[in-house]
Amino acid sequence: MIAFRIDDMSCGHCQAAITQAIKALDADAQVRVDLQTHRVEIDSPRVNADELAAAIADAGYTPVPA
């Protein structure tokens, strides 16, 4: 599992944008988002943490490894 804290994620739109960015890299990735703790957890055997962080950043958010 790969986890990020994303402090600038605050609403359902943010959640959807981040999930979409991750799914664009790996459609089969399991994505869990907790808006209250600003945490995103990803299970993906195909994509590494750097690639996921880059996709989240490209979507306009600031991922910090958790």
The pLDDT, as a whole number, for residue 54 is 97
Which two three-digit tokens encode residue 61? 């958010």
Report the domain count for the chain. Answer: 1
Looking up residue 38, the CATH number of its domain turns out to be 3.30.70.100
- Identify the domain containing residue 13 by its residue range: 2-65
Per-residue pLDDT, averaged over 25-47, amounts to 95
Predicted structure pTM score: 0.91
Query: 59: which residues sit within 8 A by CB, 6+ positions away?
Result: 17, 18, 20, 21
Percent with pLDDT over 70 in the chain: 100
Q: Are 4 and 39 contacting, i.e. CB atoms less than 8 angstroms apart?
A: yes
